[in-house]
Each structure stands twice: as C-alpha cells, then as structure tokens.
Amino acid sequence: MTDTAAALDTAVALDAADALGAHVGRFVESDEVISYLDGNSLGRPLKVTAEKMVSFIRSDWGSRLIRSWDEQWMELPLALGDRIGALTLGAAAGQTVVADSTTVMLYKLIRAAVAARPGRTEILLDDDNFPTDRFLVDGIARECGLSLRWIAVDKTAGVTADQVRASVSEKTALVLLSHVSYRSGYLADMPGITRIIHDAGALVLWDLCHSAGVIPTELDAWHVDIAVGCTYKYLNGGPGSPAYGYVASALQSELEQPIWGWMGASDVFGMTDAYVPATGMRRFISGTPPVVGMLAMRDMLDLIEEAGMPAIRAKSFALTDYAIALIEELLVPLGVTISTPIAHEFRGSHVTISHPSFRQVNEALWAQNIIPDFRNPDGIRLGLSPLSTTFAEVLIGIEAIRAALTR
C-alpha cells in the first residue's frame, strides 16, 4: 500500500467516524468538483434549498403575492436575525437584524457608533483588517472629521489584548476588529478585548464575517456592543446574501444610523412627513428587505440547529488539526509556511499557507476541480466548513498542492 493510499484510507475512516459526516450528503452534489475548500468564501447550497425556492416562487411570491409582506416578509429581517442570534451568537431576541450587504451594514453601524460618542475623535482598528473595513473607516473618518489609529499586527497572527490596551484611550470612540482574521485565520480574544475597550469608555464593533455560523460566540454575556456578520460563507445564504447586524439592547436607542428609509421608520406605512426611527432593531433597516436573498440561509440554520454549534466547532477543530498535520508533513518540507495559529484558542475555521508559487498553484488546482482560495500576494486559504467539508477533501486538496509544488 502506498503512502497516499494509506493516507486516503485514514481520511475515509475519519469521515466514516465523524458524527456530522452524514450531513454532507444534504448539500448539492457537484458533478465536477473533487475537493471544495472555499467554504469561507462561498458556502455550498443545501439540496432542500432548491425545492424550497420553487415553493417560494410559486406560493409565497406567485400566489400570496403582496399579502406575503404582511404575512411573513415584514418580520423576516428580525425573525431571521433572532434565529441567527439564538443559534450562533449567544444573543437574546430583539438584537439582530438581517439587511443590506455587509459593507452597507458596517457603514451604518460604524456611523451610528461614532455619533454616539461625541467628543471622542478616534476610530481604532488593526492594519490587517479586511479591506472593506479599512476603506469604510477611511471614508467615514474623512466625512465625520475623525482620525484613525492603526494597530500594527503580525500578518501571520492577529490583534492581541495587549495591543488593544496599549492603543485604546479616552480619545477612542469606536474600536473595529475582526473576530477571525480573513488572512491568517487568527481568532481574537473577544471577551478579553471587549473588556479592555469598555474600560476606556469606547464602543466595540466586532466583524464576524469569518466566524459567523462556525465559531460560537456569547455576545450578550461578553457585553459586546455591536457586531456585523456575513451570511454567504458558513451560513450558506448564497452569493451576496445580506449581512446581519447585532446591537446590544441597552445601546439601541442611543444609535441612529444615517440611511433613513421608510422601512426603518416608526410608522412604515404612515407616509408621514418626518422620519422618526423605529424602536428596537427595526431602526437599523433602511430599504425594502432583500427577501429572495434571505431564503437559503434558513435551510442552513435548520441544519445548524440540528447539529448544534458545539459539534460544529469540534468538527472545525478536527478538520483544521488534520489539515495542519498534513501540511506539516507534506508541504512544510517543500518551503510552505503556515500562517494559521496552532493553538486551538486562537484558531478560526480556515487554514492559510504561503508559498511564492501559490498563485500558479491555485490556478492549476482550479483547473483540476480542486477549489481552495487564493489571497494576494502568496496565500492559499483552505476554508473548512464543518457541515459540508470531508476529511477526504482536505487530503485531496493538500496532496494536489504537494503534487503541483513538486512538478
């Protein structure tokens, strides 16, 4: 038996023993993809989503028509938000809403947050935050007359509590940090860092894009102020599905977002003269809810409820442990470096590795229907989605990288 065949036996055995393994068959099967390792960019659809979409088009939209707004769609942003909050965020009802793109939701909540801390002149963030986050605060700082303070982080890790403590001050209005670094996969200490920020009297906004649906949080217990997450990665909402925003109950009435539309007004159908924001989370809605884009994530939430976040997190560790062990064995000897933290407490659900030739390697892999993600300048990210990724896929992907590097 060759090494490769033995390794495949091991992977297959791991899949067979996996408590969540049976769920893999519930996702749409591709007739071409051999290994999909990009669940952190776009989660796969569930089979049931296709059936439900047809039923939605024929019944909810095609037959109930405009009445569906009264019957279900008006409440959907809040009902879906509550469900995400309960299942994945540790958030009591009435604090989470689904709306807009992640970028627009971040813009609205950042603007609302800095306006709620008048006299404080700084937004604090790290210099390896996702481009959108960095771009947004640059624009907001200019329009609101604020300055930006940057924490320089180790690009193979992420922001630490000590770094935040050294930078937050009585000038800080808002701290904007990512829970999991999009680049390294580093998991920040959300409760510890949140305490430090609050000790300085500032607000915190956690960007949950790379942890939403895969890493359980306790937003209420950790006294998080604001959070924004993405639903097309591990929540499998489909390409460009809308964001969710969380605002702690105690803070909601203090925050006013700047994009005033009828759906966020106190009296939606009153057609009143002046805008009065709704109470509660509805005030963070601007336009008509993007209903069609909100449907698929419901099916994934059903599956998350069935599987449970603790089991999902355990499988995420098992997959990333397995990937890291294989990388150390097969790729590190070829000059590949690992950016992702080895310690569980700092690890998200993707593993990032680097090598000067990875741009070409990634192209070669895609051509073979093995799909990881390339990130400038030399990173390959393996996004491991606990409910749909198999151990065999991880092995196939890493073996293919080795083959490409040794060709």
Residues annotated as catalytic are 130, 207, 232-233, 381
3-class state of residue 96 by DSSP: strand
Q: Which of 35, 68, 252, 389 binds a second copy (CB under 8 A)?
A: 68
Could you say whether residue 181 binds a second copy (CB under 8 A)? no
**The dihedral sign for the CA sequence 203, 208, 210, 215:** positive
**Six token digits for residue 313:** 């997190």
Residue closer to a second copy by CB (options 14, 296) is 296
Residue 212 is which amino acid?
Answer: A
Q: Per rule CB under 8 A, is residue 41 in the interface with a second copy? A: yes
Phi, psi of 376 (to 5 degrees): -45, 145
Window 362-401: contact mask with a second copy (x via CB under 8 A): ----x----x-x-xx-------------------------
Q: Which is nearer to a second copy, 376 or 406 (CB)?
A: 376
- Residues paired with residue 247 on neighbouring β-strands, in sequence order: 226
Rounded distance between C-alpha atoms, residue 109 and residue 94, angstroms: 16
Q: Based on the shown chain and the rule CB under 8 A, indicate whether residue 138 belongs to the binding site for a second copy.
A: yes
> What is the strand order of the sheet 350-354 is part of?
337-338, 350-354, 379-383, 373-375
Is residue 229 within the footprint of a second copy (CB under 8 A)?
no
Written as six digits, the tokens of 324 are 């890291």
**Shortest approach of a second copy to residue 276 CB, angstroms?**
9
CB closer to a second copy out of 134 and 171:
134
50 is a site residue for a second copy (CB under 8 A): yes
- Stretch near a second copy under the rule CB under 8 A, chosen from 166-174, 265-273, 349-357, 397-405: 265-273
**Residue 14 or 291 having the CB closest to a second copy:** 291
Output b/e per residue, 44-67; b: 16+ Cβ within 10 A.
bbbebbeebbeebeeebeeeeeee
Question: Which stretch in 16-24, 41-49, 154-162, 391-399 sits in contact with a second copy by CB under 8 A?
Answer: 41-49
Q: Least distance to a second copy from the beta carbon of 260, Å?
A: 4
Tokens 């095609």 sit at which residue? 62
